[in-house]
Chain A
């Protein structure tokens, strides 16, 4: 059994993160979960027609914005911006939200589509989802460690392209 990083300590971290993200920093975004099962796809696996998303979930997170880029081509001026959203994983678990590429995040008036997911911040190097309980020398590892963050790397998507409208389910 491990000694450090027990769920009692993780509970303290959750309190501190909750206070920090929800009461002190308070950066927020709206998360639209892509509903793959509702969306029709063509033979290439691409969506054909409309895409469906779950109702938005308001999430507190840390946001790392890169500068807007305006590139000029034969088709005119294009607008690009990459934004990284750092979610505290227990918040996502509270909302039963699993981040995947294709999800849309609304940040202020702009929409950003998730293209990469990074889950690599393990406290004391352990993910309690993998306790390896068959190992008799270190039982109980499901109570140790934490996956702290889910990082969603996104790119700007024009609002007219997303065209998110409210649909009656």
Chain B
């Protein structure tokens, strides 16, 4: 018949007695392990009452408590700084590193707006052309897609280069000119000051702008202006080609390029999700007394829960000519509540030290100091 020993009142921790061995070689951990065993068993009633646990159960709980502490701590750090760590290399551990905010992620996630405006982003803009036929106003974009080797549903036209020549090229058009432009032209060429017969007249830029606008308005009102219209897969252009232009250039994107959310860098060595932020288990020796006290309490709660499950495997324990019910339900209820309370307390504590909260507090402090200083009488300088 097996005779399984229970807690004897003393223990001697040696490396290898914890399930994972994360902290076995940490001197502080190995020193505290036996103290924690004494603390836990005494809190559970030993030596007045037996505690049906072994030292290795308590060591396992101790290791779990430290790991849980580190897990909560680093999960908080990951949440706090993920914007600044995403996309970086996983090769460097994040433990014991100061993390400085930067604009990289903000720029990256706002590139989509520039992308739609055609001034940035990750979507490539392609160019292509359509051969214009004299007198043909409608052109099938499906044909253009096949010509460009793009699926027709994947094509999105971003720009049609079917425009009138810039008005500035007709700045000195006799039709639109007033004569004063000649002076400006000679001046532009640097001949103005060499001509004794020319008067120099400084004109504001608004004069040039109004002149250009006058030319454009003239074309719009009095001529068939260059324009286009896309409905479905048909491109309609104005005016009807008269043979003076042989090609129509287009800029387009592939929708699949835009819909593709995956960008570089990628791969196993890049932080692409919170599970890859390179935090390792904490170094027990570096955890301060506040953290260690939390670990001891959490270890006690785990042991209490463990003892509850041990005592509760059988609802009643046989004793001579009777049965007895142990306190397993009390233990489990208390342990569950304590674990939850400890976790919530720790999370609240971490949240209070978040960058957001610290800045808020600093702001409140500054306001309060400012207000406080306001109660001091102002010095009156008499000059």
Residues of A within 8 A of B (CB): 4, 7-17, 19-21, 23, 61-62, 64, 84, 86-88, 121, 123, 128, 143, 146, 148-151
* B320 part of interface (Cβ distance < 8 Å): yes
Q: How many residues belonging to B are interface residues under a CB distance threshold of 8 Å? A: 19
**CB-based contact A11/B2 at 8 Å:** yes
Interface stretch, picked from B126-134, B228-236, B321-329, is B321-329
Interface of B is mostly: loop
| Contact for B319 among A9, A11, A21, A151, CB less than 8 A | A21
- Docked Cα-Cα span, A4 to B318, in Å, equals 14
Question: Within residues 1 to 24 of chain B, which ones have a CB less than 8 A from any CB in chain A?
Answer: 1-4, 6
Q: A7-B2, A128-B1 are in contact. Are A86 and B320 (CB under 8 A)?
A: yes
**CB-based contact B4/A8 at 8 Å:** yes
Can you offer 20 A-B residue contacts whose CB atoms are under 8 A?
A: A7-B1, A10-B2, A11-B4, A12-B310, A15-B4, A15-B52, A16-B326, A17-B319, A19-B50, A20-B319, A61-B320, A62-B319, A62-B321, A86-B322, A88-B320, A123-B318, A128-B1, A146-B318, A148-B319, A149-B319
* B317 part of interface (Cβ distance < 8 Å): yes
**CB-based contact B3/A11 at 8 Å:** yes
**CB-based contact A12/B4 at 8 Å:** yes
Q: Which residues of B contact A7 (CB under 8 A)?
A: 1-2
* B301-325 interface bits toward A, Cβ cutoff 8 Å, 1 = contact, 0 = none: 0000000001001100111111010
Q: Which residues of B contact A61 (CB under 8 A)?
A: 320
* B49 part of interface (Cβ distance < 8 Å): yes
| Contact for B317 among A11, A16, A121, A149, CB less than 8 A | A16
- Docked Cα-Cα span, A64 to B322, in Å, equals 12
CB of B367 to closest CB in A, whole Å? 62
- Docked Cα-Cα span, A17 to B321, in Å, equals 12
* B46-63 interface bits toward A, Cβ cutoff 8 Å, 1 = contact, 0 = none: 000110100000000000
**CB-based contact B52/A88 at 8 Å:** no
Q: A9-B314, A11-B1, A128-B1 are in contact. Are A16 and B52 (CB under 8 A)?
A: yes
Q: Which residues of B contact A9 (CB under 8 A)?
A: 313-314
Q: A19-B49, A19-B50 are in contact. Are A148 and B318 (CB under 8 A)?
A: yes
CB of A155 to closest CB in B, whole Å? 18
Q: Which residues of A contact B6 (CB under 8 A)?
A: 15
Q: A12-B52, A12-B310, A15-B52 are in contact. Are A62 and B320 (CB under 8 A)?
A: yes
Give 10 nearest A-B pairs by CB, closest first. A86-B320, A149-B320, A7-B2, A11-B4, A86-B321, A148-B318, A19-B50, A88-B320, A11-B2, A62-B320
Q: What residue in chain B is nearest A86 (Cβ atoms)?
A: B320
- Docked Cα-Cα span, A17 to B50, in Å, equals 11
**CB-based contact B321/A151 at 8 Å:** yes
**CB-based contact A151/B50 at 8 Å:** no
